[in-house]
């Protein structure tokens, strides 16, 4: 568990996904607006699907895409 102000805690990942998938913002622009790197931002919008929860992490091996 990260500290409560972590940029990519559950709330931050949800915000990132909303900006990229639903508002159409490019991932690089959303990352810059959040103060994180583009490389950190790229995996999360792809994980947000009906089959993978927003709280899932990239290293979670139980996710099958």
Tens digits of per-residue pLDDT, 12-37?
A: 888 888 898 889 899 899 999 999 99
Phi, psi of 52 (to 5 degrees): -135, 120
Higher pLDDT among residues 32 and 6, named by residue: 32
pLDDT beyond 50 at 51:
no
- Mean pLDDT on 60-64: 52
Residues 50 and 31: their CA atoms lie apart, in Å, by 23
Ramachandran quadrant class, 24 (left: phi over 0; alpha: psi -120 to 50; beta: rest): left
Q: Where are the alpha helices (DSSP H) in the chain?
A: 10-17, 27-34, 38-41, 43-47
Assigned token pair, 62: 């139980």
Distance CA 30, CA 24 (A): 10
| pLDDT for residue 6 | 78
Q: Given this model, what pLDDT does residue 9 score?
A: 82
State pTM to two decimals: 0.64
């Amino acid at each position: 568990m990260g500290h409560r102000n972590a940029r990519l805690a559950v709330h931050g990942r949800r915000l990132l996904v909303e900006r990229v998938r639903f508002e159409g913002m490019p991932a690089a622009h959303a990352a810059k607006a959040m103060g994180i790197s583009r490389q950190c931002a790229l995996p999360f919008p792809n994980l947000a699907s009906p089959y993978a929860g927003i709280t899932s992490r990239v290293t979670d091996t139980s996710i099958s895409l």
